[in-house]
Amino acid sequence: MFRGKMLRLRIRERWWFLSCDVCTSKAFEDCDAYKCRNSYTTRTATPRYKLAIMAADEGSAVEMVFFTVKMLRV
């Protein structure tokens, strides 16, 4: 378990993306479907959120990246 203080929330990066419904990687719109880099094609894509946080305690620092389909209270 890591107990520390949140130092920074990385907000300059895009915080959400459309994800492939098969493998959850980033999906790109292609005519009336969505394709991902793993070559899957689906008719729909799911919004997925990406939250990057930098946290530290007295001796260590860590950058954590969370992916979720719901935005949760931090």
Report the pLDDT value the prediction gives residue 73, as an integer from 0 to 100. 61
Q: What angle do CA 21, 74, 45 make, to 5 degrees?
A: 15
Question: How confident is residue 23, by pLDDT bands cut at 50, 70 and 90?
Answer: very high
Instruction: Tell which wins on pLDDT, 14 or 1.
Output: 14
Q: How far apart are CA 20 and CA 25, in angstroms?
A: 5
Model confidence pLDDT, tens digit, residues 33-71: 999 999 999 999 999 888 778 888 888 888 888 877 776
